[in-house]
A and B are shown apart, each in its own frame.
Chain A
Amino acid sequence: MKPYQGVDFFRVSRLLDAEERAVQAMARQFVERSFLPVLRAHHAAGTFPTEIVPELGALGLLGPSVRGPGCSGLSYTVYGLICEELERGDSGLRSFASVQGSLVMWPISVYGTDEQRAKYLPELARGKLVGCFGLTEAAHGSDPAGMETRCRRDGDGWVLSGNKMWITNATLADLAVVWARDEADGKVRGFLLEKGDSGFAAQAIHGKYSLRASDTGELILDEVRVRDSRRLPGVEGLKGPLSCLNEARYGIAWGVVGAAADCYHTALAYALEREQFSTPIAGFQLTQAKLVDMLTDVTQGQLVAIQLGRLKDSGVNEFPLVSLAKRRNVAMALDVARSARSILGAAGITDEYSPGRHLTNLESVYTYEGTHEIHTLIVGQAITGLAAYR
Chain B
Amino acid sequence: MKIAVCVKQVPDSETRINLPGPVPDLDRSAFTLVINPYDQFAVEEAVRIKEKRGAGEITAVTVGPQAKVREMLKKDCLAVGCDKAVIVDDAALAGADPYAVAQVLASVLKRDRFDLVLFGIKAIDDDASQVGVMVAELLGFPHVSYVGNLVIDGDRLTARREIEGGVEVVESGTPCVLTCGKGLNEPRLPSLPNIMKAGMKPVEVLDCAGLGLTPPASLTRVKQYSPPPPRGGCTLIPADDPAAAARELARRLHEEAKLI
Complex: A381 Cα to B28 Cα, angstroms? 52
Sampled A-B contacts (18; CB under 8 Å): A2-B14, A5-B14, A19-B195, A19-B196, A19-B199, A21-B71, A22-B71, A22-B190, A22-B195, A22-B198, A26-B189, A26-B195, A30-B189, A33-B189, A58-B191, A59-B192, A60-B193, A64-B192
B74 within 8 A of A: yes
- Tell me if A72 and B193 are in contact (CB < 8 A): yes
Q: Are B75 and A59 in contact (CB under 8 A)?
A: no
Cβ < 8 Å to B, chain A residues 1-42: 2-3, 5, 18-19, 21-23, 25-26, 29-30, 33
Within 8 A of A (CB), among B1-31: 12, 14
Interface SS, A side: helix
A18, A30, A61: the one contacting B74 at CB < 8 Å is A18
Chain B residue total in the interface (Cβ 8 A)? 17
Shortest Cβ distance from B132 into chain A, in angstroms?
A: 26
- Chain A interface residue bracket vs B: 20 to 34
Enumerate the 7 nearest inter-chain pairs by beta-carbon distance, A residue then B residue, closest first. A60-B192, A22-B75, A18-B71, A22-B195, A60-B191, A59-B191, A26-B189
B79 touches A22 (CB 8 A): yes
Interface set of B (CB-CB < 8 Å, partner A): 12, 14, 32, 70-71, 74-75, 79, 189-193, 195-196, 198-199
Report chain B residues within 8 Å CB of A60: 191-193
Instruction: Decide yes or no whether A289 CB sits under 8 A from chain B.
Output: no
**B199 contacts across to A, CB distance below 8 A:** 18-19
Contacts of A21 in B (CB 8 A): 71, 75
Residue of B nearest to A23 (CB): B195
Point out the residue from A25, A33, A64, A72 that lies within 8 Å of B75, measured CB to CB. Answer: A25
A29 in complex: contacting residue of B14, B70, B189, CB < 8 Å: B189
CA distance A2 to B75 in the complex (A): 23
- CB of A78 within 8 A of CB of B14, answer no
Is A74 part of the contact surface with B, judged by Cβ < 8 Å?
yes
Q: Are the CB atoms of B193 and A18 closer together than 8 Å?
A: no
A23 pairs with B192, CB closer than 8 A: yes
Chain A 48-71 interface mask (CB, 8 Å, partner B; 1/0)? 000000000011110010000000
**What CA separation (Å) do A5 and B199 show in the bound complex?**
24
| Residue in chain B with minimal CB distance to A58 | B191
**Is B193 in contact with A22, judged by CB distance below 8 angstroms?**
no
Nearest CB on B from A31, distance (A): 11
Q: Most A CB atoms within 10 A — which of B12, B14, B189?
A: B189
CA of A26 to CA of B79, assembled, Å:
11
Chain A residue with the shortest CB-CB distance to B12: A5
A61 contacts across to B, CB distance below 8 A = 192
* Partner pick for A22 among B12, B14, B32, B74, CB 8 A cutoff: B74
**20 additional contacts, CB 8 Å, given A25-B75, A58-B191?**
A2-B14, A5-B12, A18-B71, A18-B74, A18-B75, A19-B198, A19-B199, A21-B75, A22-B74, A22-B79, A22-B190, A23-B192, A26-B189, A26-B190, A26-B191, A30-B189, A59-B189, A60-B193, A72-B192, A78-B192
**From A2, A59, A72, residue with most partner B Cβ within 10 Å:** A59
